[in-house]
Each structure stands twice: as structure tokens, then as C-alpha cells.
Amino acid sequence: MPIFAHPEFDQHEQVVFCHDQATGLKAIVAIHDTRLGPALGGCRVWPYADEQQALNDVLRLSRGMTYKSALAGLPLGGGKAVIIADPRKDKTPELFQAMGAFVDRLGGRYITAADSGTGVTEMAQIRQRTRHVVGAGEREAFGGGLRTGDPSPSTALGVFIGLREAVRQRLGGRDLNGLKVAIQGVGQVGFDLARQLHAAGAELWVSDIDAGNLQRARDQLGAQVVSQDAIHGLDVDVFSPCALGAVINDQTLQVLRTPVIAGAANNQLARPGHAEELWRRGQLHAPDYAINAGGVIDVAYEYSGGSPEQVRLHVEGIGETLRQIFQRAEAEGRNTTAIADSLALERLNAA
């Protein structure tokens, strides 16, 4: 399997294939860049069709983590881990303990965290074999008391702040009361975002593959439920992708007409050219690795130490980062993803 000639290879420093015969673990860890600090990124469990798909994902996601940490002003690099398994039936404590042993052998160059298919329970199992893991225990909450190590509340807060800034830039300083928002995916982050938007007076349309998530959004937030196929083409102000990536693609662009696109999903653009297409059409896209950085900010403070107030203030800075991206894009006539890439590279090269 070629690595250096792989289309998603971006001068990655290290790519490690991990196999444990006893537990059946098959995983890949990609460390993209450590110029700013050790590589931090989640551990994803997904039933990839083959190793090629898993490699594609881990290379793309690890690069995104480098840019995310750089834009967020964190002393961290970018990395990612993927485990080839079905999260509904293949997860065992022994599997994640074996994963922890592989993470530990990297000597702190990679710090793992929760991602799709993993959570606090799995991180605690990994922690039995390594200290290079975050999100495994309880932490002090923003408003006092304790919460789990799940960083999704910080992710949702950052997306809410970033969405509000994008609306201000594109729709002219209006508040969120009466704003029409279509949210694709109302799991932990998507629902928390929806809750904050509802409290601000927004009207919500939602889709999700999980009927329970849809029922909760309908019952608690008065959201209108639509199909997965219909969510992209609604006549609303904001489309907010909060599920898996590549949702902005050749097919969805045929119907997607919202003036603002701002959501929590990683790798929202199926290919780089879609950023230019959105810019050409006047649709303001908040680059995902800028707007969804709240989670990595949260776990970075867990790893290095810091108060809930410090975390909250750092997450609120996502709004200022996006303001810089939007204003510079307008001044230079370049799409927002190109500008975000430039800002991240400037910070990396300065290191």
C-alpha cells in the first residue's frame, strides 16, 4: 500500500499500522506535524470497507487536526487514529487496552482522545496502558460542579459562536431570533448546538439517521424533522452539517443555496474545489477546522492544566478567528478555506 505517493499524504511525519492478534485490533495512527507540539487527535472506530478507506480517512483527519490546533493558537500538532471495527459490536476493553499500548509506544508524540465510535469509557480503557490520552475522567464544568471528560459541550459552544459570527458577516449584523437553520445530525454536538440556537430564538429543521435523536429534537426544541435527502435543499438561512464529512459535494451543491454554511462536521468539503465554488456563488462557508476547534481546545487544557473559565474564553476566541478569516477573504478575494489554510501555515512556519 503506497504511502508517500498517496493522494492524501501531506508530508506526514509518521504513519503507524497497529495489529494485535489477541484482540483483533487493526488500527492506523497518523502523525501529521509536530512543529507546534505533540500531535493530538481523536481515535475513531469505523467499519471501513477496506484498509484503503481507513488510510484515506486517517491521513485527511490528521492533517485537519494540525490546522485546527494552529488556528486555535494551541501548542499542539496534528494526529489521528482509526480502528477498523464496527463500533456497535466489536468494541471490548481488551481492544482499547491494546490500542493504549500502541499509543504509549509512540512516547508522547501522539495524544489520543474520543472521536466517532469512542467516548469516555473507551478513553478510560486506553488510559490503563498509557498516560497520553485525554477525555477519560471527570472535569470541572463551566458553571460549577463536575462533568465527564467528553469535550462535545465545548465543541458545540464554539460552533454556536462561529455560526453567529458567520451570520453577522453574511447577513448584516442581525441577531439569531427568527434565524432559520437546517442541522444535519443532532447527536451530542448537533443537539447541543440546536439547544443554544433554540434558546436564541432560531427556527430549526433537523435530520439524522437515529430516530431517537430526531424525537428528542422535536419534543424538546420544537424542531421540524426532514429526511436526509431533503436537508440540503431547504430555503433557510444556515445549513449546519454536524454529522460525517464530505456532505458538500457535486450532488448536494445542485440544491444547496443557503447564504451561510457553518457546522461541526469534519472534512465537510468532498474535494478542495468545492470551497471555490461556494465562494463564487456568494455562500459563506466557515471552515470546519476553524469553527469546530472547541473540542481540541477543551482537551488541550485537560492535558496541560487550566480552569473552566480559561477554556471558555479560549473557545470564545473562535469567533475572532473566523472574523479574521472572513474579512481577509473579502479583502483578498480568496475563498475562506484558502485563507484558513494560509493562516494555519503562517503559524506553523513561524514555529
Residues 159-186 pLDDT 10s:
999 999 999 999 987 789 999 999 999 9
Nearest to 61 by CA among 81, 45, 86: 81
Rounded average pLDDT over 243-270: 94
Cα gap 2→20, rounded to integer Å: 22
CA atoms of 64 and 176, how far apart (whole Å):
29
* % of the chain surpassing 90 pLDDT: 89
* pLDDT on residue 311: 95
Tally of CB atoms within 10 A around 221 = 18
Query: Could you tell me the three cell numbers for 329?
Result: 477573504
One of 68, 80, 89, 180 is an active-site residue; which one? 80
Report whether pLDDT(351) > 90. no
pLDDT above 80 (res 343): yes
Cell numbers placing 273: 474545489
Model-wide pTM > 0.75: yes
Q: Residues 302, 199, 296, CA angle at the centre, nearest 5°?
A: 20
**Under a CB-based contact definition with an 8 Å cutoff, are residues 262 and 166 in contact?**
yes
Cβ atoms of 149 and 135 closer than 8 Å: yes
Mean pLDDT of all residues in 279-305 = 95
68 as an active site residue: the answer is no
CB atoms within 10 A of CB 93: 14
Q: Which ranges in the chain are annotated with CATH 3.40.50.720? A: 152-292+320-350
Q: State whether residue 86 is helix, strand or coil.
A: coil
Q: Is the pLDDT of residue 143 over 90?
A: no
Pinpoint the residues of the chain covered by CATH 3.40.50.10860: 14-62+76-137
pLDDT digits (tens, 9 = 90+) for 20-73: 999 999 999 999 999 999 999 999 999 999 999 999 999 999 999 999 999 999
Res. 1 pLDDT band, cuts 50 70 90: low
**In CATH, what number does 152-292+320-350 get?**
3.40.50.720
* Fold of the domain spanning 14-62+76-137: Rossmann fold (3.40.50)
